[in-house]
Chains A and B, each alone.
Chain A
């Protein structure tokens, strides 16, 4: 068995030659509780970088100094220290680490052991994001993150994902967390311009490369990121090589997908019935064959005259279904990792291809990564991470575009989809644009070249003192290209092309020194100091053209007229100084303080630096004598933290009063772009957190509860100014809001033994309240109901309350909701919309969200079921005014509109159909519904082939699995999918829970395998 593997031995020899003095060989075997050998366990000589990892049957050999202690560690097991003494062979049994207390948690500028953490942090591992049919990793961790709400918002591939860490901390600035990949803050927000809807730049990270995702939630953990931490910080760490055997993994999956749910619309007969009635009831149309002054002689004439429709058509086109198709997914990935004590490497490549459920939607990504570590000497280590990703997203139009395929549901079923006589083969004389034309006549593609990289150097001149410099970049090259052919709505008559090229580069340097010191037996001190500088530069060029020779020519070079062209740039810098001290006394009293001084080009010179301090304490009660030997309560820790963070996503030049160009035909003038505000500064969040972590029965039941309050002040608000002054707004730090919440997670090992059953449950409750808006109200405007009001949660639905239908005459009714002289609310109804007062209609923020994961294992089988749930949020369907409006215009209607009032005495919620009259069309609570859902988010059944079967094949491990994503959803939401949040309409971050022809998520079935060599 010995010396079978060359690399560990070579590593040992190199280390041995570098070390001074006598060494001797120690061999051993590492097993789990059942006695089977554990491969891949890291065995390190304590206090050195001398180490190896166990081979397939768990055995290892290592040359060590006399009196050495071995540190034996593996993910999922408790780390064990083994004093070698004068033994030449050791046997180590590792305990499974269900409580994960020994787990190393990635924190800002370092790592910490979970049991010693005093902040609130959620960390997820690679298995949570691998092999999930999603575009971007955040989509894979839905339902697994207490305190973090993740909303995909739309079924479009590669679209932006909304993430709220402990609620929304801002109204007008960003609410998305800061993303840091391997220590380097990256571009995580949309930088594209070809579409009104955001792209998700995080999709450029291959989820298979991720070792861990850590979400810093409270001030103690996040304040080290200062002015960018108010929305939480997501730290992503990529996989690294470990010394030991070279390991090769190969995996692939293949699947099919379809929409989670489609909405039902009227068929041709129903359409004819409803609209004939609507025409006859219309106060604007007189239908009379005998009256020469009548608008039309017959209903059929009115169909033809008003909308160009043929009442006698025999068509019955299921338009709403034509927007969707059966999609497919496939992914291939491979990695090679390994190394010796001196050099470790991880290399990976992957390719994935998703053909979306919406016609024309496709996302492809290929990526390569190389992560290298090399120990120049015992004291100097260098590391290099490099990745390159190419992604191509064939996009569909914005929700609010006629070319959005989902808007096909508005087309009358009595119109044909196809027209064989038309050059496109499609019917181009539909009531609205026939978006099927987009499939063959238009392209909308965004492609990225993305590279993340960094070089690090760590120098440990004396034990415990480490200087580290980390210099990285995030290079994003986005290329957006649209061609709309001559038969499309936007490209007629001679074609339309757009090209936008954007380059965004983040450069970051982090330079830290950490000092770890144990004083006597009782005091441990870890101090961190450093500085960081980041610069972001963005350049873009775009052009648009019309007048193409024909649709074979799609580049702007072929356009006769350049209708728009632009080029510009922007940027920002951050200069930061940071420090942190962690102190542990008697292994159970924990304290930590940190501070960051942040300066940024975004802040005005009068206000250029901010300090963001935090402090936290912890007490591991279970280490106290009175609990130490308690058999029931195996772990108990209390912790508390308080600190200050900021939100600097305030725009790059918001404080400045500037003039910009405004073109006037062939010349250009200038105009002021706003008032500016020299006092403008970051938003500030003060957060207090109290948490308790517990474990019972040796960790069989373990959990964590956190209670927090986040108070955000200096909210950046557009103070409304009179229009007559020429500047409708001035941006000031004037608002306040509060988030309070509880988050709870529980891990249990319900059954242990051959048949294992693990449960993870998490629940998050957050209450958001706007406490000060300087007396203003922010109205999203248009037909939206979302508002920001003092005393209400962000995005509260506010407007006129729908009261159903007057049984006597079929009029839509609204609650008056006016205040009576005695202060009570008048709940009388009116058919006069303008007589009704506005009231609170709903809340798009959920009462609670959470997830439930059950994992069952037996022999080689593993079944895991991830449920995700959201409760108590409301959704407003903006499209209701077109889709569900008792035939007010010729848009096809949802099936429920057949319940319209017809005769006096009818009791219904759907008013009488009256073409054009606007009976019940005004924005109101009519289209609000409950968005709660309980979803079988991911169900995976896997089978790992037994080792004895594989041994002769040379395959180290083999696993096959089937997965169903979004298998089914229990909801009362009557639209497409309750996980919806349209990002059309300028996407202010307070516009929540609105649906507007937004496509549903995909339900995916897939089968896959992983092989290890």
Chain B
């Protein structure tokens, strides 16, 4: 149409209008920043940022896949014969498989525990990698010590769950039971690099030997021992926490003298003291007996419906509630003598075992885990006393105190009858009683060569089904090889 040029002026106004809108929508409209996150390039570029990441690593210890639930719960479920200790009544089949030693390589707990704890390890690596931005020397040492403490602890826990026990001495040594030495037993894949790129993260890492794994664990923990201040914030690791944890590691390895001396040092010098009551550790936060607890509160905890120790253990209508998934067999409760605060008391909260009146009412329950928001004790002084007692007994020494005195100290604190004499078996049983449901069971049985259950259904301490499978996920990716025996 020839009218187009004539009407050109009529086009000017709308064209200008459209153009204006067009310019309004220029590229900067495409720059939208996330509101709850910061870019990785800047996150760890300041001392505050590094401290925040370190706090993040502590927070990760509270994950349900870590100390928040599984590092404790799995050790007790693996350590039960389903008739004389605890039983899994819940609907989570993954836990039922653990309790019944029927795990497969796709077991959810085996998968997520491994996965999340390696993420924690990488976060500690990222903290260590970022240390140069911290200028204050004391602060730098402290941060490095805390990060290496966390890394060493996590590797140790994974090694105990995913590898055969480390034992070179005694009746249950590898030589005595005819299994390969730690240097030729698969341990863990060791990642010490601060992975930031896909290329870093995609590296396949074969499992180091158990010997190498423990070497790394000890390197981290002894470094932490040297770097950490003698006193730190109550909720953070200090030097005595490192010593206490090292005592546990040495005990696990059968290095009794080292374990004894460290335990003795912690008892004497850490400033901690036993609580007057066995119950109060589990009803108070950061009580005097506690060396280190995972900090929790009502908002921030490992879970209150599908995860969390209280969630699974508790069945208390008037208290937290809980799922009542883990029951305690009467035969175990009966091991505590009358009046023992760690045993059964009809009044809920008066002792550490009660009859549940919430979900699945009527079964015995542990009062150690009674509230989702409570702290989770990881290291407490009672362990040091019993380490000292056991190692003194084994070595025929009385460093710090006699084994009998140490055992009776723990027993009398619990208002249990004191003993006239102790044997090694008595001390081991005292550990079973004192640390029940706190994640000690399977590790104690493995290191002492005691089988889980007796008779035909008993499972030997070095049986493959007591070792968690390397997740099939890893095997499929050609990582963390070889798989454990039996999977």
A residues sitting closer than 8 Å to B (CB atoms) are: 284, 295, 308, 429, 433, 459, 461-462, 465, 467, 469, 489-490, 492-493, 509, 511, 513, 517, 530-531, 533, 535, 546, 561-565, 568-573, 575, 599-601, 603, 608, 652-653, 656-673, 675-677, 719-728, 730, 777, 781-783, 834, 881-882, 916, 918, 921
Contact = CB atoms under 8 A, between A and B. Distances in A.
Interface in B15-71: 17-18, 21-22, 24-27, 29-32, 34-41, 43-44, 49, 52-60, 62
B123 A672 contact: yes
B35 A569 contact: yes
A834 B91 CA distance: 21
A669 B34 contact: no
Contacts of B125: 726
B317 A493 contact: yes
A570 B25 contact: no
A467 B18 contact: yes
Interface residues of B, number: 96
Interface in B235-256: 235
Nearest to B26: A575
B52 A668 contact: yes
A480 B38 CA distance: 29
Contact of A563 (B91, B196, B298): B298
B21 A531 contact: yes
A404 B26 CA distance: 49
Contacts of B203: 722, 725
A489 B24 CA distance: 54
Interface stretch (B163-171, B221-229, B354-362, B400-408): B354-362
A989 to B, nearest CB: 21
B10 A462 contact: yes
A669 B477 contact: no
B284 to A, nearest CB: 14
A489 B118 CA distance: 34
Given A658-B34, A671-B56, A727-B119, 13 more contacts: A467-B18, A492-B358, A509-B21, A531-B22, A575-B25, A599-B27, A669-B59, A670-B56, A722-B201, A723-B473, A723-B474, A726-B201, A781-B106
Q: Which 4 A-B pairs have the closest CB atoms?
A: A726-B122, A669-B55, A669-B56, A725-B201
Contacts of A517: 1
- Pick from A459, A575, A657, A725 the residue with the most CB of B within 10 Å: A725
A608 B21 contact: no
B117 to A, nearest CB: 9
Contacts of A533: 21, 24-25, 29
A672 B117 CA distance: 14
Contacts of A601: 29-32
B201 A721 contact: yes
B321 interface: yes
Q: Of B18, B83, B479, which is in contact with the most chain A CB atoms at under 10 Å from its CB?
A: B18
Contact of A469 (B17, B59, B100): B17
B215 interface: no
A60 B35 CA distance: 61
Contact of A722 (B22, B49, B321, B474): B474
B126 interface: yes
A183 B299 CA distance: 44
B184 interface: no
B358 A561 contact: no
B123 A783 contact: no
B291 interface: no
Nearest to B295: A665
A724 B123 contact: no
A723 B52 contact: no
A599 B119 contact: no
A725 B202 contact: yes
Contacts of B10: 461-462
Given A599-B30, A782-B108, A721 B40 contact: no
Given A572-B32, A725-B203, A720 B477 contact: yes
B429 interface: no
Nearest to B293: A665
B35 A568 contact: yes
10 contacts: A308-B361, A461-B7, A461-B11, A656-B34, A658-B40, A662-B59, A668-B52, A724-B205, A725-B191, A728-B115
Contacts of A664: 55-56, 58-59, 62, 295, 300
A308 B298 CA distance: 32
A721 B37 contact: no
A726 to B, nearest CB: 3
B418 interface: no
A248 to B, nearest CB: 38
A220 B477 CA distance: 41
A511 B21 contact: yes
B111 to A, nearest CB: 8
B204 A722 contact: yes
A783 B82 contact: no
Contacts of A465: 11
A664 B100 CA distance: 33
B32 A308 contact: no
A721 B202 contact: yes
Interface in B108-137: 108, 114-115, 118-119, 121-123, 125-126
Contacts of A672: 40, 43, 123, 126
A670 B201 contact: no
B102 interface: yes
B297 interface: yes
A662 B56 contact: yes
B388 to A, nearest CB: 31
Nearest to B49: A670
B420 interface: no
B62 A653 contact: no
Contacts of B59: 662-664, 668-669, 671
Nearest to A662: B59
A652 B32 contact: yes
A660 B53 CA distance: 10
A725 B122 contact: yes
A603 B32 CA distance: 10
Given A600-B30, A658-B38, A658-B40, A724 B298 contact: no
Nearest to A720: B477
Nearest to A307: B360
Nearest to B304: A563
Given A490-B305, A492-B321, A665 B198 contact: no
A180 to B, nearest CB: 18
